[in-house]
Homo-oligomer: A and B are copies of this chain.
Amino acid sequence: MTSSSNDRLSPVLTRIDAGLDATLDRLMGFLRIPSISTDPAYKSDCDRAADWLVSELQSLGVTAEKRPTPGHPMVVGHAGPDSANAPHLLFYGHYDVQPVDPLNLWSSDPFDPKVETRAGVKMICGRGSSDDKGQLMTFVEACRAWVAEHGSLPCRVTFFFEGEEESGSPSLIPFMKENAAELTADVALICDTSMVAPGVPSIASQLRGMLKDEFTLKGPKMDLHSGHYGGPALNPLREISKIIASFHDDQGRVAVEGFYDGVHEVPEDIKRQWEGCGFNEAEYLGLAGMSKPHGEAGYSALEQQWARPTLEINGLWGGYNGVGSKTVIPAEAHCKITCRLVGDMDPQDLQKKLRAHVEARCPQDAEIVWDNTPEGSPAAVMNTNRPEFEQARKALTDEWDREAVFSGMGGSIPIAGFFTSVLGMDSMLIGFANDDDRIHSPNEKYNLESFHKGMRSWARILDALSK
């Protein structure tokens, strides 16, 4: 860090600290808008939240406007100078929130936010405080402080806020395609993720991909009576169970031939980072009632979740499921499958292998019928070789006084994939939420530390990326 950059950063950080109460007031105003995107009753509130953001951006000198879609509007803004030395950044967040049912489980009104101290920790309580209004405001407020101090941002920034993230983003891809030139920057910043552990700054650098498939095992021509046919009859429930049991070996490893093609072991340096990242395995497992990781033997829970592929059964059914008993041998059994993908696993190729595994185990007198609409997306491995990643990691380390980590994620953040596939743009996923923020649940909260240090983190990152 050069002294000149220290010079421009320090007063911004000081301003953020001094202005904390005012930034909190602004956030509270944003949180009071019940912008529940999935419920048509809140359509005008979503519109109001978009207006609020436009006004907020304009107040810090951003050219911002609300842009219509068939659903809730987008908010797009542009600010800052072009610089040969600094990347053009796109910042993404979403202003819509999840529904609040069941309301009776909230300890206070979800849309009357408060700062409270619980168990010694100060937190902002209310719907959207963490997901995603509080998170997106960390960036907006960092920009406000920078502009207030220096008159303009240190690099060109495009702001892109969505109002349909919690309801499937139906307008997102069409809007991105129609406005591709305007939205394409050098790199995207996404603030919608958690830290690996409390106080451990994290850049999510790999997300698992997904393959969905579904099949029916058809056996007898019709449901049979277990007296008249039990014994000679092929039982689809037994046969589908055998197929499912064949998917894994006794070490928890997927036994589908070629399943691990394209899977790479985690590099030693990343592994060491993860080991020291503060992830509490016992707590993570205990939350779900587990005393040990049940995945592939030889891998930690974190590796099983972030770096290893899975084949899971998400639904299984056949025969009589009501109260009491029915002496039936059913004609069919059904099974829903998702695989989580890592590394270079190819969803289309994997689907062929999965189907071949199942079909090879289809017994005489039975038939496998596949659902026609499998979906697949490859794993997203962030381009951590870009200099911005190391610059951001160093900035985060400085702020949190704790080595920042490139973390994995077990799930997917679709927007990161869309930025790549639609706009050809790399993403950095940096968020300050904690796993106990109860997003999507009653009593959502965002730690005041996440909000405060989040703003300071973005100021440092803006500085670091703009040298």
Contacts and interface: CB of A to CB of B under 8 A. Distances in A.
Interface of A: 208, 210, 212, 214, 219-222, 224-235, 237-238, 240-242, 244-248, 284-285, 287-296, 301, 304-305, 308, 310, 312-321, 325-330, 333-334, 336, 338, 340, 363-365, 375, 409-412
A231 B340 contact: yes
A365 B245 contact: no
Given A314-B319, A325-B338, 9 more contacts: A226-B310, A231-B296, A232-B285, A233-B294, A237-B313, A238-B245, A241-B241, A321-B334, A325-B375
A113 B216 CA distance: 42
Contacts of A301: 231-232
Given A288-B221, A364-B291, A227 B412 contact: yes
A213 to B, nearest CB: 9
Contacts of A328: 314-315
27 contacts: A214-B325, A219-B289, A220-B288, A220-B290, A222-B288, A224-B288, A226-B310, A226-B312, A229-B288, A230-B310, A231-B296, A231-B304, A231-B310, A232-B285, A232-B290, A232-B304, A232-B305, A238-B248, A241-B242, A241-B244, A245-B246, A312-B329, A314-B326, A314-B329, A314-B330, A325-B336, A327-B338
A301 B365 CA distance: 15
A316 B241 contact: yes
8 nearest A-B residue pairs (beta carbon)? A227-B411, A231-B304, A241-B244, A221-B289, A245-B245, A315-B319, A237-B313, A231-B295
